[in-house]
Amino acid sequence: MKWPSHGGQPEALRESLGFPMSSDVIDFSANINPLGPPTWMKKELGKHFTELIKYPDPTYFKARKSLAFSEDLQPDQVLVTNGGAEAIFLIAKLFEGKQAIVVHPTFLEYERACFHYHLKVKDAFFSLDEEFDLPIDKMIMECKTTDVMFLCRPNNPSGTIIKEETVRRLLIEGKKHNTYIVVDEAFVDFLPGEEASLSGLLSDYENLIILRSMTKMYAIPGLRVGYILADKKIIKQAGDGQIPWSVNTLAANFIPGMVEDKLFLEKTKTWLQTELTFLREELDKLNFYMSSTHVNFYLLRDREFPMETDLLFKHLLKAGIVARHTFNFKGLDGHFLRLAVRSSHENKVLLEALKNWRAKQ
Ligand SMILES: Cc1ncc(COP(=O)(O)O)c(C=O)c1O
């Protein structure tokens, strides 16, 4: 069977499974904020329509200024990109032909971007328990022979966070060997607390490169908004490799409004904490493993039948629930499912389907 390579493709699944799926399936495979996009964005669409007859400002100054201001950085430390995906490829391009490490299981695009720019890629692996610890001693040793390390924090697909202290150890060692540490913070806005991001470390570590995506929090995968935060030399170099006007006018114009909408962030975090607490308790009662996620998705595995994830996936599909398979996440090999945290009602539908699965055993 041919599995789709990313989440959010229920149609592709339907085709490859040849499965009778009703059209009103609930898509738990894409980890997009169910509260979004913020309502003001829809209202403002018309306002920005007239701007479409102009090219975007090629320097995206207003967007960069608002992002820099919110991170306490300078605008020349920010590069606006066509989604987090473009940020990943622009960063890989900086290290063309050099040596990289990717820590698995993680987002697939680091490896793809590295291959695209002919980097040599070594694999490292998180510990496969609830916490997904980084193999820090091994990675510190590898600094000597590695030009760039890709970390995802919070990590997709587990939702777990590498401790700040651990990243700091890598940055210190990396500094000695000219090793850059890339931290993908695509999901950082979902974390509780103010100091969740590592952007405060940029002033001390020139070898830190942070990338972000606005896609997930603001539920705008079709708009394409991401950015890189780094030392200004890196930003200049990455920008030199970017296609002109890569970010469209609409996306650039929406950035300041999104950055300022703190209320939407707070509303999302409140929803998420309530749902996560509920899901954790209920899944535990049903004896399902749930990764120690801090964000809007998690890994799930049946503790009682850990080798039957395939059957569980199909059981959920029959109940109208699309999960994200994990066959193409190195180290997971299909033995887990990744599920999004969705609305209270939808999470209850999922739990009901899991209860039925348990009752059938
Ligand atoms: C960890 C991570 N980084 C980056 C991206 C890319 O985000 P975007 O849709 O903004 O390109 C994704 C998308 O799934 C992701 O999961």
pLDDT of residue 20: 59
Is the confidence at residue 174, as pLDDT, over 80? Answer: yes
pLDDT of residue 22: 61
pLDDT of residue 334: 95
With cut-offs at 50, 70 and 90, classify the pLDDT of residue 17.
low
* DSSP-assigned beta bridge partners for residue 227: 80, 212
pLDDT of residue 361: 77
Question: Which of 190-199, 218-227, 352-361 is predicted with the least confidence, judged by mean pLDDT?
Answer: 190-199
* DSSP-assigned beta bridge partners for residue 97: none
Average pLDDT across the chain, whole number: 94
Give the position, in ligand 1's atom list, of the atom nearest the Cα of 106. Answer: 1
User: Can you say whether the dihedral through the CA atoms of 10, 14, 17, 21 is positive or negative?
Assistant: positive
CA atoms within 13 A on the CB side of 4: 17
φ, ψ for residue 97, nearest 5 deg: 80, 0
Q: Which CATH number fits domain 10-30+263-360: 3.30.70.360, 3.90.1150.10, 3.40.640.10, 2.40.37.10?
A: 3.90.1150.10
With cut-offs at 50, 70 and 90, classify the pLDDT of residue 88.
very high
Q: Where are the domains of the chain?
A: 10-30+263-360, 55-260
Provide the residue count of the chain: 361
Is the confidence at residue 3, as pLDDT, over 70? Answer: no
Provide, rounded to the nearest whole percent, the portion of the chain with pLDDT above 70: 93
Instruction: Give the architecture (CATH level 2) of 55-260.
Output: 3-Layer(aba) Sandwich (3.40)
How many A from CA of 85 to the centre of ligand 1?
6
Pocket of ligand 1, beta carbon within 6 A: 83-85, 107, 152, 156, 184, 186, 213, 215, 221, 226
Q: Which of 80, 213, 225 to mutate to test the pocket of ligand 1 (most atoms within 8 A of CB)?
A: 213
Strand 226-229 versus strand 208-213 pairing type: antiparallel
Q: Which of 107, 161, 293, 299 to mutate to test the pocket of ligand 1 (most atoms within 8 A of CB)?
A: 107
Strand 208-213 versus strand 26-27 pairing type: unpaired
d(CA 216, CA 187) in angstroms, rounded, equals: 7
For residues 257-269, give the mean pLDDT. Answer: 97
pLDDT tens figures, 291-346: 999 999 999 999 999 999 999 999 999 999 999 999 999 999 999 999 999 999 99
